[in-house]
Structure 1
């Protein structure tokens, strides 16, 4: 499968690209900085340079054309201000959905965050509040697109860089906890292995570390 990954140089994206390449898929990494191309190639992906904060839907749809699936794993990242939470975490996700629809690519996996439906807690830091609200609005937008996209929203808990365990807890609602980026990438890969109009379409799934092997956890969450 040809799988286009927005945020292709991010920590989750690079892990996902390695997994997809290893199993014979063709990952395509959308990156903003040409200097990231070598890292992406080393992960087994094809680098494509495009800035989601500046691209038009037509320009992005050209990059998505002929893809079997798209993944939004981009984010403004730590140290960015509130404004970029809106332009990347929300607007970038919406732009990718528009581009996928225009290109006729139905399968869309959005990496969100656990608990965003609750909104930011009163008195939250303004940048954190913007992040939570931006993620929520991106999720809300995608949930309106069931007629044109086979979407899945994956909501990991607090991310860590510890080695993956291959053991998770996955479902429509699970208690907040942490999860490794390795395991998030492995769950995305498992979800993408489902057929395009799969049981995972139209699902919102929370993900944290747990005690269930990933393949079993995915099967259980989709049954």
Structure 2
């Protein structure tokens, strides 16, 4: 498949591209800056320009041209800017889903965050509260579409090397997970029909990725 990766220069996405190539897919990294092209092409990705915050649904649909699936892995980042949690994490997801639908793309995998359906403490940092709300609302909107969606909700992300061992499921408790293991799960589920219409928490664990996906799908 040709797979559009929204947020194509993000930390998870940069780990995902080589895994998609190894699996026989063609990643299409959607990025805002042309200077990111060389590094991403070296990782095996086709590069297309897309400004998540300022481009509209039609622009997204053009960026998805010829693609068979979309992975939404964009995030506003730890910049202290609450507004960008809405414009990137929420509105970017909404535009991606709408564009996928208009482009005739059914498969859509979204990276969210663990426990975002739980209430945020009244004294929580406003930026954190905005992030949780954006991820929660993006997930709810995606679940309401007719797309063949999968939502992955990782725990606290680390930069440790991949372990290949995870815990995956709707009720998995909060924990740490490497970005490399998140990328491995994304690469594994994107063409797995048994993961469609499933929302799973993802943390480090003791079960190999393929086995964990099979177990979660069977539960």
With structure 2 as the length reference, what TM-score do the two structures score? 0.97
SS at match of 2:194: coil
1:54 maps to which residue? 54
Count of aligned residue pairs for this structure pair: 218
Q: Give the conservation status (yes or no) of the 8 Å contact 2:49–2:63.
A: no
1:215 maps to which residue? 210
1:177 maps to which residue? 175
**Within the alignment, does 1:142 sit opposite 2:142 as a pair?**
yes
What is the alpha-carbon distance in structure 1 between the residues aligned to residue 74 and residue 171 of structure 2? 23
What is the alpha-carbon distance in structure 1 between the residues aligned to residue 114 and residue 122 of structure 2? 17
1:153 maps to which residue? 151
Displacement of 1:199 in angstroms is: 1.7
What is the alpha-carbon distance in structure 2 between the residues aligned to residue 41 and residue 204 of structure 1? 31
What is the alpha-carbon distance in structure 2 between the residues aligned to residue 49 and residue 62 of structure 1? 10
Displacement of 1:35 in angstroms is: 1.2
Q: Give the conservation status (yes or no) of the 8 Å contact 2:4–2:28.
A: yes
What is the alpha-carbon distance in structure 1 between the residues aligned to residue 53 and residue 183 of structure 2? 24
What is the alpha-carbon distance in structure 2 between the residues aligned to residue 20 and residue 71 of structure 1? 11
Runs of 4+ in 1 over 4 A off after TM superposition: none
What is the alpha-carbon distance in structure 2 between the residues aligned to residue 19 and residue 119 of structure 1? 35
SS at match of 1:182: helix
What is the alpha-carbon distance in structure 1 between the residues aligned to residue 214 and residue 184 of structure 2? 14
Displacement of 1:43 in angstroms is: 1.2
Cα-Cα RMSD: 0.9
Q: Give the conservation status (yes or no) of the 8 Å contact 2:188–2:210.
A: yes
Displacement of 1:80 in angstroms is: 4.0
What is the alpha-carbon distance in structure 1 between the residues aligned to residue 161 and residue 119 of structure 2? 30
Displacement of 1:79 in angstroms is: 1.3
Q: Give the conservation status (yes or no) of the 8 Å contact 2:156–2:176.
A: yes
Consecutive unaligned residues of structure 1, counting only runs of 5 or more, are none
Q: Report Cα offsets for 1:164-208 as digits up to 9, x if no partner.
A: 1000000011110000000000001110131xxx22111110000
What is the alpha-carbon distance in structure 2 between the residues aligned to residue 126 and residue 3 of structure 1? 34
Q: Report Cα offsets for 1:18-73 as digits up to 9, x if no partner.
A: 10112221000000111111121121101111101111111110111221110000
SS at match of 1:117: coil
2:200 maps to which residue? 205
**Within the alignment, does 1:163 sit opposite 2:161 as a pair?**
yes
> Which deviates more, 33-42 or 84-93?
33-42
Displacement of 1:121 in angstroms is: 2.2
**Within the alignment, does 1:94 sit opposite 2:94 as a pair?**
yes
Q: Give the conservation status (yes or no) of the 8 Å contact 1:119–1:136.
A: no
What is the alpha-carbon distance in structure 2 between the residues aligned to residue 76 and residue 7 of structure 1? 10
1:13 maps to which residue? 13
